[in-house]
Structure 1
Amino acid sequence: MAVVGAGTIGRSVAHALATTGHHVLLLDTTDQLLDQSIRQLRRDLRFERLLGQVQDRDDAEVLRRIEPTTDYARLAQAGFVIENTTEDWDVKREVYQQLDQLCAPGVVFAANTSCVPITRLAAQTTRPEQVLGMHFMNPVPVKPVVEMVRGFHTSPETVARARALLAAMGKEGVLVEDSPGFVANRVMMLAVNEAAYLVHEHVAEPAEVDRIFTSCFGHPMGMLATADLIGLDTVLLSIEQLHDRFADSKYRPCPLLRRMVDAGHLGRKSGQGFFTYT
């Protein structure tokens, strides 16, 4: 397995793969980013143990199954690639062109994207029938379902290979068609954006907004805490993608989101978002 992008979601995908017996090449652009990712992964494994979520597991063996690297040439060894880079078209376009050049002909490319069209990504390769979306939700190890996205050219064989991988990870796939935001983010990002507008317009403080959803609707996490978990920079990019693709004003990004991202308040990964993390 190759996981491209060692950020929050990429690290979590590598975690889920390694704990289910897969050997993972974890790629990113710098050793510093990879070192940060592996340190956080160690903390994640310890946290799972403290919560009593695991019993008979060798954490050292899990870490040995993950090989961090900055060498894209190593992709020649991969049998399946999950791409988790930033929701930026220029970045993703270059990544898929590289993947196509470096990976063996039969390798499937799975885009772990929340909003970028799968058909558009597939068009950057010579194997569009082997490209699909696999939208993993954070935190990946505990989420039982993955949103699978079929692009215009995605073959039934590619879908079957992706389902087999998910089954080996103890997960199921829900297959949807290629449309901006797919199902999950077309609904959730709109809700997150509206929650941000409530704070922006001084209707309620973040804690009060989220309490409505956790206490009245039984959501395990409020909209704004979810945004902090995803990363406000990723949320903003996703909403911008929806606004661009649909050309609909209902997806206009909240000015408060832009200001927070400009200020470096990105949520959990920076220690400050709608809430403070220590």
Structure 2
Amino acid sequence: MAKKKNFTVGSNDVSAEEAEREFGISLQELKTLMNIRGRESLRELNETYDGFSGLGYKLKTNLITGLSDDKTDLAIRIAAFGRNEIPQKPSKTFLHFCFNHFKNRTLVIVFILGIISLALSFYRPSRETFQTGIRPTKEKFEWIEGTIIIAAVLIIILVTALNDWIRERQFRDLQSRTELNTTFNVIRDSTVRQIPIKCIVVGDICEIKYGDLLPVDGVVIQSNNLKVDESSLTGESDLIKKHESSDPFLLSGTRIMEGSGKMLVLAVGEHTQTGESFKLFNVVELENNHYRKQNIICKVYFTF
């Protein structure tokens, strides 16, 4: 008889490969299933995974009583299928904000004029063209004008950058508190509980109702006149009817507009449709930044 592996509670102590072997379906297979649409997706679900009951069996989920609160089981699920949070872009540093504000053309021009003014204050012509006794007095204060201009530009940049940096930190703190306070109805041990959305794992059974904004991807296992607004992802303005026998797949970021039901969670965090959209957006943004830098380098090269 094979010896059962002992997993520690911390998800970091379990590799994704070891955790996936505990289930009858992999993360990649779930992604492929969620990417199929229409009748074909329902056919794939029934033929390959033996319907909802077969999918629940592979995920070791009881479709009626839900998961248990066993911390080891939850940790294995997190290691195998990920945590329900989308990684945020690294926060911008104070120097980053300073550099961005220094790109302002007006400030750059004024700053350059200040440097020119300061440099000219130390310039001494070879021939004396001014009256003696007057020039030495002026020479002592000529550098002040350029210094004041440069200092004023730097103060504007520093103060504006500091305000933006503080505002971004406050926004991230508010976002973190909002995520912690946002809860969702999940069935655990036959009991409906409200848990933070970041604690939802693959295999959970969620209760859904009118007004809910879905935080995960999954399939409907029970529905009562369920209609969903998918315009945020697909652009389709009409409400989409969801039912176990026709179109059971639910996507994160969509909103329940009518009815109620239960769903089996199949994807969380960065593996959901919303997470994939965020990753695609970040890739496009990085490519745009790369091309922008190349254009700047080319302009500088051809200028000189």
> What TM-score do the two structures reach when normalised by structure 1?
0.25
Mark the structure with the bigger radius of gyration. Answer: 2
The structure showing larger relative contact order (alpha-carbon pairs under 8 Å, at least 6 residues apart) is 2
